[in-house]
C-alpha cells in the first residue's frame, strides 16, 4: 500500500503542479477563456488513463497463465523503465518547471484552442499513463488481493490534489527539488522490487530460465503471511525466496540507479563565482 501511495502522491503531484501552473498563468494573464480547453485536455487525459488501467486489469484475465506472466513481466519492466526516467527527469527539471510550462503555454495560446487542449493533455496524460502502468505492475508484485493498493493510490492522488491546490493559493511553499529527490530515492527502491518481480513473471512464463535456482529461502524466518512479511511485501515487494536471477537484477538496478540518482548531489561543490567575462575588445583591466 505504501508503494502505491507513493506513486500516487508523486505522479499526482507532478500532474497537479502542472495544472496549477497552467491555470495560474492563464488567470494572471487575463486568458480565463482559455481555461475551458485546458480542462478539456485534462479530462481527456484522465479518461484515457482510467481506460488504460481498466484494460490492463480486465483485458489480461482471459489469457493463459503463461501469457499473463509474459505480459505482466514485460509491462513491469517497461513501467520500471518509465518511472526511472521520470524520477531523473523530475529531479533535473523541478527548479525550472514553471518557466518550461510558461514557454509551452505562450506557444499554445498563439496557436489556438487545439494547441491548448494538446498542451494540457500531454502534460497530464504522461503522468496518468505512467501511474496506471506502474500501479498495475506494483499491485501484481505485491500479490495483495484486497482493495489496499487502490486505496493507497487514491490517498496519494488525493494528497497531491490538496497540495496542488495549496500551491495554487500560495499557501504552501516547499523546496520541490528536495521533495522530488527524497521521494525519487524511495521510488527507486520500490521500482527495484517491481523489476525483480517482473523477472520472476518472465521466469514463470518460461521466457527466462532459473526459476528453481533459489538464491535463499527464509520463509521460515519471515513468513509471507505474517504482519511483517506483508508489510515488507507491500513496501519493498520483498520476496523471502528469490531466484538468483532476481537477486542479481534487483541488486544491480538498485546499486546503479540509486548511485546515479544520488551522485550529483554528493559531488556538488559549493557555488563558485563564474569567471568574469572578457570585456568587449578583449582588453582586461590591471
Among 195, 215, 186, residue whose Cα is nearest residue 141: 195
Burial class of residue 40 (count of CB atoms within 10 Å of its CB; 0-12, 13-18, 19+): middle
For residue 279, what pLDDT is reported? Answer: 43
In sequence order, what are the beta bridge partners of 204? none
Cell numbers standing for residue 142: 505485491
- Burial bucket for residue 248 (CB in 10 Å: 0-12, 13-18, 19+): middle
Long-range contacts of 28-37, Cβ-Cβ distance < 8 Å, separation of 24 or more:
31/109, 34/109, 34/113, 34/116, 37/113, 37/114, 37/116, 37/117, 37/120
Residue 95 has what pLDDT? 62
**pLDDT at res. 273:** 42
Scanning the structure block, which residue is given the C-alpha cell 524511495?
Answer: 186
DSSP 33: G
Give the span between the Cα atoms of 191 and 236, in whole angstroms: 9
User: 154, 151, 146, 149: which is closest to 138 by C-alpha?
Assistant: 149
d(CA 75, CA 67): 12
What pLDDT score does 158 carry? Answer: 87
Virtual torsion, Cα 232, 234, 235, 241, nearest 10 deg = 40
Could you report the average pLDDT of every consecutive run of 10 residues in the chain (286 residues)?
72 76 75 80 86 78 79 84 80 66 66 70 76 74 61 82 80 67 81 87 88 87 74 72 92 93 58 44 42
Q: Quick one: DSSP state of residue 205?
A: T
Closest by CA to 66, choosing from 208, 188, 193, is 208
Q: What is the pLDDT of residue 65?
A: 78
Amino acid at each position: 500500500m505504501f508503494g502505491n501511495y507513493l506513486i500516487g502522491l508523486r505522479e499526482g503531484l507532478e500532474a497537479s503542479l502542472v495544472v496549477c501552473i497552467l491555470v495560474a498563468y492563464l488567470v494572471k494573464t487575463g486568458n480565463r477563456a482559455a481555461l475551458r480547453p485546458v480542462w478539456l485536455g485534462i479530462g481527456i487525459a484522465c479518461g484515457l488513463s482510467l481506460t488504460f488501467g481498466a484494460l490492463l486489469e480486465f483485458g489480461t484475465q482471459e489469457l493463459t497463465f503463461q501469457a499473463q506472466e509474459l505480459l505482466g513481466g514485460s509491462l513491469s519492466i517497461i513501467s520500471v523503465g518509465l518511472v526511472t526516467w521520470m524520477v531523473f527527469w523530475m529531479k533535473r527539471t523541478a527548479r525550472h518547471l514553471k518557466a518550461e510550462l510558461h514557454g509551452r503555454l505562450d506557444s499554445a495560446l498563439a496557436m489556438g484552442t487545439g494547441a491548448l487542449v494538446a498542451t494540457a493533455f500531454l502534460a497530464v496524460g504522461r503522468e496518468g499513463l505512467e501511474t496506471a502502468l506502474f500501479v498495475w505492475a506494483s499491485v501484481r508484485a505485491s500479490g495483495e488481493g484486497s482493495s489496499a493498493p487502490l486505496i493507497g493510490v487514491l490517498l496519494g492522488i488525493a494528497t497531491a490534489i490538496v497540495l496542488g491546490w495549496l500551491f495554487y493559493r500560495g499557501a504552501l511553499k516547499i523546496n520541490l527539488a528536495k521533495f522530488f529527490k527524497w521521494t525519487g530515492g524511495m521510488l527507486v527502491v520500490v521500482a527495484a522490487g517491481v523489476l525483480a518481480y517482473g523477472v520472476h513473471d518472465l521466469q514463470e512464463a518460461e521466457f527466462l530460465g532459473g526459476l528453481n535456482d533459489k538464491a535463499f529461502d527464509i520463509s521460515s524466518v519471515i513468513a509471507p503471511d505474517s504482519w511483517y512479511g506483508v508489510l515488507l511485501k507491500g513496501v519493498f515487494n520483498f520476496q523471502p525466496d528469490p531466484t538468483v536471477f532476481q537477486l542479481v537484477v534487483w541488486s544491480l538496478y538498485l546499486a546503479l540507479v540509486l548511485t546515479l540518482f544520488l551522485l550529483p548531489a554528493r559531488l556538488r561543490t559549493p557555488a563558485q563565482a563564474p569567471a568574469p567575462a572578457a570585456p568587449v575588445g578583449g582588453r582586461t583591466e590591471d
